[in-house]
Amino acid sequence: MVVLREGMCPGLSEELVGALRTADITTVEDLVSSDTEDLAQKCSVSYKALLAVRRVLLAQHTAFPVSGADLYEDLLSSTAILSTGSSRLDKLLDSGLYTGELTELAGGPGSGKTQVCFAVTVHISYQLKQSVIYIDTTGGMSASRLLQMLQVKMCKMEEQMEALQRIQVCRVFDIFSLLSCLHDLRCAGLQQMGGGSVKAVIVDSASAVISPILGGKQNEGMSLMMQLAGVLKTIAKDFNVAVLVTNSVTRDGNGHLKAGLGLSWSHVPRTRVILERLQDPGLTCSSLRTATLAKSSRQPCHLNEEFDLQGWGRNEDQLHKVAGKRKLENIHTS
Amino acid sequence: MTTTTTKVTENGAQLFARLEGRRSLRDIEAHIFPDGAGPLQGNVVEFHGIEGSGKTETLFHLVTRCILPADRGGLEVEVMYVDTDYHFDMLRLVTVLEPRLGEEAKEEEGVAAAESEERVRACLGRLSLVHCSSSVQLLLTLHYLENTFCCRPALCLLVIDSISAFYWVDRSGGGESLAKQEANLKKCSELLERLLRDYGVVVFATTHAIMRNYGQSGHADAAAMTPKQPESSSSFSSSWRNLSSSHASEFDKAYLSRAWQKIVTHRVLFSKGEVTQDKRQMFSAACTTTKTIGVKRSSFCVTEAGVRFL
């Protein structure tokens, strides 16, 4: 709803707004939807003036179509694929997180969502030298863990500090502060002091702020959830950044894992990966996780990869052997 | 009075667009639509399904068919794609498009990569894309597009992916009154109705299945229909659309404004099928229309090069 106010556009004077109000026209939608000629007669205002105002208001408030060829050109030059740092996860995501898209990591407690977010953050800020905005809604953000991950990479102290400076952390604990935080970021043009353009926005976790407002017969919670989805998607597209959110999981009727937050949210992410801890009693190493592609427009779904949280980006070949063998076993048993 | 003023301001191209009429998309995809009942000028096709049931992928398939040149088996018409979900993946569309464009180019071998790139661009030139982030913006954009429809007679297809994107935000924004909650969608539908009548475009729109039909399965089907149509006293009959319910009744609930439901002429219900042994996901589509009796079912799988019907 866009309420008509005087001075919104040239020609929309106080008298005109007043005259329109007598005909029950108070918003731009009303004005645009009604027949201009009838309206001019009803309010006894100039038809030409009203037509001009309508045209300007339309131009101000519509989205403009772009030619597909131009868009393709733009995309080829501007889309970046941000490697996550893990070759297995990259393989699943068709080489990484795409800018302009919303990607979701779903998984139960301890399935490694936050650790993956940390690892991706560190990889983007240190290896790719790009800035990251990390929105923490659970209080799980730990700077010392980030530093620890950087130290593993054996770089110099200054480089570590530089990398940490490229990570901007926002702490919010409810949906309203999250929405206002995103709004502020958007108004500031997603710039940040550390230099370098922001390439990724990470929200860990989306479900922590959304699930408390859902339930019952009220619509407000659903509305807020979809508003959040809208803001995240527009940020991804307008600033050409990769957006990564985390979500909880539930089980469907057949006992399979599926992402939480219900049917409406299920349509929101463009790519969804479900993380799971490996349930293998014979295995002592507990940092092994499996990632399953649950939604993608580029790769077939149900692709499955195993990765090691501890050795993010290292020893992956070694793991590959183990994983390859285990995968075979899985097929036999299932 | 109104007619005289519009006619005076009409230029040659507009007159042509109005008189000549647009191409119908009757033959767009024989697998999905029943024989001879493909979408004609002024028809509205609704694609309904849960997340990941192949709606957007099918749209890509159909859009590709529209923008491909006639000598490559396409319809060579222009398409306006309104993306409210922000799910439009141009790179994916090009992936689907390229193999269909280049089938013969491979035999010739001599065709330079630049030339095939040029052909892709020519196809994409027939596609226009617009993103909308609120129902108000959608309404105003549709008003703005009226002029575009008027000037471009080759523009035959309007895709809205999806029309239900702002459902919850509008529900909450309208307060207690159902009329206010649905106001924008109602206005959009009324405007579309007029655009369809005046310009003869075809509309493809997706709707998300976000409501579960509680108490479904078999005999409860008829019972589930009652809450679906709370004001079924009107003359509008919805029986045709329920034909496909037996297919995937659990998520079939039509929840959008009645003004929208009134203009829908074809309804395609998507559902996920089983996963085959080679881990390939199967999908199925069930189409019902106002003009035909029965359900046209089709099943497909999604490959690297797009939708493949079985």
Convert the pLDDT of each residue in A43-58 to its tens digit.
Answer: 888 888 888 888 888 8
Which residue's entry shows tokens 């090009």? B94
Residue A295, chain B, CB below 8 Å: the answer is: yes
The reply to whether residue A267 touches residue B126, judged by beta carbons under 8 angstroms, is no
- Say whether A67 and B127 touch across the interface (CB within 8 A): yes
Confidence (pLDDT) at A192: 61
- The model's confidence at residue A248, banded by pLDDT at 50, 70 and 90, is very high
Is A281 in CB contact (< 8 Å) with chain B? no
Burial of A152 (0-12, 13-18, 19+ CB in 10 A): middle
Angle ∠(A198,A201,A207) on CA atoms, nearest 5: 170
pLDDT-wise least confident of A42-46, A253-257, A259-263, B15-19: B15-19
pLDDT of residue B112: 66
Of all residues in chain A, what percent carry a pLDDT higher than 70? 90
Per CB-CB distance under 8 Å, the chain B contacts of A61 are 136-137, 140
CA distance A296 to B304: 12
Residue B83: predicted pLDDT: 92
- Rounded distance, CA B299 to CA B117, Å? 32
Q: Which two tokens stand for residue B303?
A: 């490959």
**B267 contacts B288 by C-beta, under 8 angstroms:** yes
Q: What is the CATH number of domain B25-309?
A: 3.40.50.300
Residues 201-220 of A with CB under 8 A from B: 219-220
B7–A contact, CB cutoff 8 A: no
- Residue B105 contacts A where some CB pair is shorter than 8 Å: no
- Packing angle, helices A47-61 and A14-22, rounded to 10: 100
d(C-alpha A235, C-alpha A187), whole Å: 11
- Report the 10 Å Cβ neighbour count for A243: 25
By C-alpha distance, the chain B residue nearest A79 is B91
The nearest alpha carbon in chain A to B281 belongs to: A301
Beta-sheet pairing, A249-251 with A97-98: unpaired
- The answer to whether the Cβ–Cβ distance between A69 and B124 falls below 8 Å is yes
Task: Dump pLDDT digits (tens) for B262-309.
Answer: 899 999 999 888 887 777 888 989 998 888 888 888 999 888 888 888
Task: Tell me which H or E stretch contains A264.
Answer: helix A262-266
Lowest average pLDDT, out of A145-154, B50-59, B217-226, B290-299, goes to B217-226
CB contact under 8 A, A62 and B2: no
- DSSP secondary structure letters along B56-74: HHHHHHHHHHHHS-GGGT-
Residue A301 pLDDT grade (very low, low, confident, very high; cuts 50, 70, 90): confident
Q: A212: distance to nearest CA of chain B, Å?
A: 17
Q: Percentage of chain B surpassing pLDDT 70?
A: 77
Q: How far is CA A9 from the centre of its chain?
A: 34
Residue entry with tokens 């000549």: B20
Q: Do A267 and B143 touch (CB under 8 A)?
A: no
Q: How distant is the Cα of A226 from the closest Cα of chain B, in angstroms?
A: 7
Q: What residue type is A56 in one-letter code?
A: V
Q: What is the pLDDT of residue A135?
A: 94
pLDDT, residue B8, reads 54
Most distant CA pair in chain B, distance: 67
Percent helix, strand and coil across chain B, each rounded to 5? Answer: 40, 20, 40
- Cα angle B282, B284, B289 (rounded to 5 degrees) comes to 170
Give the pLDDT band of residue B221 (cuts 50, 70, 90).
Answer: very low
How confident is the model over B134-180, as pLDDT tens digits?
888 999 999 999 888 888 888 889 999 889 888 888 888 877 888 88
Q: Are A114 and A175 in contact (CB under 8 A)?
A: no
Q: What is the average pLDDT across B60-85?
A: 90
Average per-residue pLDDT in chain B?
Answer: 79
Cα A123 to Cα A129: distance, rounded to the nearest angstrom? 8
Q: For chain B, first and last CA: distance in Å?
A: 55
Contact by Cβ (8 Å): A122, A136:
no
pTM over 0.90: no
Q: What is the number of residues in chain A?
A: 334
% of chain A exceeding 90 in pLDDT? 25
Alpha helices, H only, B200-308: 220-228, 239-242, 245-248, 258-263
Give tens-digit pLDDT for A104-161: 999 988 888 999 999 999 999 888 888 999 999 998 888 888 888 888 887 788 888 8
Residues 6 or more apart in contact with residue A190 via CB below 8 angstroms: A133, A198, A201, A235, A239, A241
Q: Are A172 and A181 in contact (CB under 8 A)?
A: yes
The H or E element that residue A276 is part of is strand A271-277
CA–CA gap between residue B134 and residue A226 (Å, rounded): 11
Instruction: Provide the mean pLDDT of chain A.
Output: 83
What pLDDT is stored for residue B16 in this prediction? Answer: 65
- Is B80 in CB contact (< 8 Å) with chain A? yes
Region B186-200 average pLDDT: 89
Q: Is the pLDDT of residue A180 over 90?
A: yes
Confidence of residue B205 (pLDDT cuts 50, 70, 90): very high
- pLDDT (tens digit, 9 = 90+) per residue, A70-104? 999 888 888 889 998 888 889 888 889 999 999 99
Please indicate whether, in this complex, the C-beta atoms of B168 and A222 are within 8 angstroms of each other.
Answer: yes
Query: What are φ and ψ of residue B215, in 5° steps?
Result: 70, 50
Q: How far is CA B144 from CA A54, B96, B134, B137, B141, in A?
A: 10, 30, 15, 10, 5
The whole-number pLDDT of residue B5 equals 46
Look at residue A68 and give its three-state secondary structure: helix
What is the number of alpha carbons within 13 Å of residue B155 lying toward its C-beta? 26
* Least-confidence region, from A38-42, B61-65, B177-181, B225-229: B225-229
Q: Which of A75, A220, A302 sits opposite B91 (nearest CB)?
A: A75
Tell whether A69 lies on the interface with B, counting CB pairs under 8 A: yes
Q: Cα–Cα distance between B280 and B50 in angstroms, integer?
A: 18
Percentage of residues in chain B having pLDDT higher than 90: 18
Closest to B257 (Cα-Cα) out of B160, B172, B157, B188 = B188
- Residues of chain B contacting A295 with CB distance shorter than 8 Å: 51-52
DSSP character string of A9-32: STT--HHHHHHHHHTT--BHHHHH
Residue A137: what are its φ and ψ, rounded to 5°? -110, 0
Average pLDDT over residues B242-254: 58
Q: Do A300 and B144 touch (CB under 8 A)?
A: no
Give me the half-sphere count of Cα atoms (radius 13 Å) on the Cβ side of residue A17: 15
Q: Does A226 touch chain B (CB under 8 A)?
A: yes
Nearest Cβ partner for B169 among A65, A226, A297: A226
Sign of the CA dihedral with A267 first, then A273, A277, and A280 last? positive
Mutate to test the interface with A, among B117, B128, B157 (most CBs of A within 10 A): B128
Query: CA-to-CA distance for A192 and A315, rounded, in angstroms?
Result: 34
Q: Is it the case that residue A264 has pLDDT exceeding 80? A: yes
